[in-house]
Structure 1
């Protein structure tokens, strides 16, 4: 490995590896409406990247008369039922994962979905894609807290500062940046700021390990500049 190759790549799941956000939204609508409430696109978009327990409390405020754990379990089951019919992989994600594996770069999945959801997606990949999984029920603090990314790096035995984290949401990027990683934001359902302390990309299509070398170098400069300005 060259000096600029990341020690590991840490991946978000929903919206980054798989395009499950529409599934989550539809399941949220169905759940809220089953209790006589209404749920808008704006309501759903506001929860992208949030921890499930925080999201559950928001759903309770919209009239869902269930415990937080019951809400999470019901939503997870409903999303998995849709994923069992079709998993909407994000363009370029599995291709980049496959190349990382061929090059021997360690990888971890770092998601706020609970473990049974994460494991389902990992098991659906046709090769051994991840060395570790950090799920929402593995951590005390959800994104944007850095705990999940710090845990992912620790499980791989690497320094977060030497890692790349790939994310699609503002809370996820805040978590990755706070953990000290070089963060790459791939905009999808939720808009990302152009001037954040991360590298912004429109897609992973065509992204190679060689590109990650360059992004890691550029990202370290962005991260170090943000640190010096704070």
Structure 2
């Protein structure tokens, strides 16, 4: 962990690990709209409450939930592909960045702080978003189709930290959901929570902010007990 006693050097995380949906980009409305389209296309029923229950979840687990609660007789894997078709088409038209996210990424890059992306979205959805950022913005990218256990399991964050060669305890994770925050916290990360579409429970290892705009990572890091 960075030594706060080093003269002239503020304590900072060794790496910052970013969630994507709802944190880096506000794509949750894309997912929700697509879910309602699937329900209409296949004669199912859906609600916003059900949609919000899926925020932050592993996609295949979401496919199982949709199959059960939407009442459509499709394999979860097929449901996931239909979801991805809908959201990829939308994000290729417009990437809805969260306020302050791109600026914060640029500041971290300039400071030499490595960033990793830890998302339960699949690679084909992530690619058009990352294409809008400078190359190597994220040194490590962990997607939902590359891990055995998705969030809230700690594997995604453990995988990202290991790939960066840093201890999870030296990482700051940025999340917007209970599912994601639990994953990061269970891995050992300090979690910066910026709530978006769903409320997030407070715990000892979660620090809350209203926005990423003009946010100083060093100040957040210094708050941990």
Structure 1's 6 and 48: CA in aligned 2 closer, same or farther, altered over 3 A? same
For residue 47 of structure 1, what is the aligned residue in structure 2?
54
Q: Distance in 1 between matches of 2:38 and 2:204?
A: 34
Superimposed CA distance per residue, residues 172-228 of structure 1 (whole angstroms, 9 cap, x where no aligned partner)? 000010000110010110012345630011100111xxx211211213x1xxxxxxx
For residue 226 of structure 1, what is the aligned residue in structure 2?
none
Structure 1's 129 and 66: CA in aligned 2 closer, same or farther, altered over 3 A? same
Q: Distance in 1 between matches of 2:177 and 2:16?
A: 17
Which structure: greater helix fraction?
A: 1
From 209, 214, 223, give the equivalent of 1:218. Answer: 223
Superimposed CA distance per residue, residues 89-114 of structure 1 (whole angstroms, 9 cap, x where no aligned partner)? 00000100001111111110000001
What's the TM-score, normalizing by structure 1? 0.90
Tell me whether 1:5 sits opposite 2:12 in the alignment: yes
Moved more, 80-89 or 57-66: 57-66
From 157, 174, 191, give the equivalent of 2:165. Answer: 157
Superimposed CA distance per residue, residues 53-75 of structure 1 (whole angstroms, 9 cap, x where no aligned partner)? 11000111122322222111111
For residue 37 of structure 1, what is the aligned residue in structure 2?
44
- Are the aligned partners of 1:35 and 1:63 in contact in 2 as well (CA < 8 Å)? no
From 25, 39, 48, give the equivalent of 2:32. Answer: 25
Moved more, 2-11 or 187-196: 187-196
For residue 191 of structure 1, what is the aligned residue in structure 2?
199
- Are the aligned partners of 1:9 and 1:165 in contact in 2 as well (CA < 8 Å)? yes
Q: CA deviation at 1:125?
A: 1.5
Q: Distance in 2 between matches of 1:15 and 1:28?
A: 16
Q: Distance in 1 between matches of 2:171 and 2:81?
A: 32
For residue 113 of structure 2, what is the aligned residue in structure 1?
105
For residue 81 of structure 1, what is the aligned residue in structure 2?
89
- Are the aligned partners of 2:34 and 2:86 in contact in 1 as well (CA < 8 Å)? yes
Moved more, 7-16 or 112-121: 112-121
For residue 128 of structure 1, what is the aligned residue in structure 2?
136
Runs of 4+ residues deviating >6 angstroms: none
Q: Distance in 2 between matches of 1:170 and 1:196?
A: 14
For residue 210 of structure 2, what is the aligned residue in structure 1?
202
What's the TM-score, normalizing by structure 2? 0.92
After superposition, the CA RMSD in angstroms is 1.4
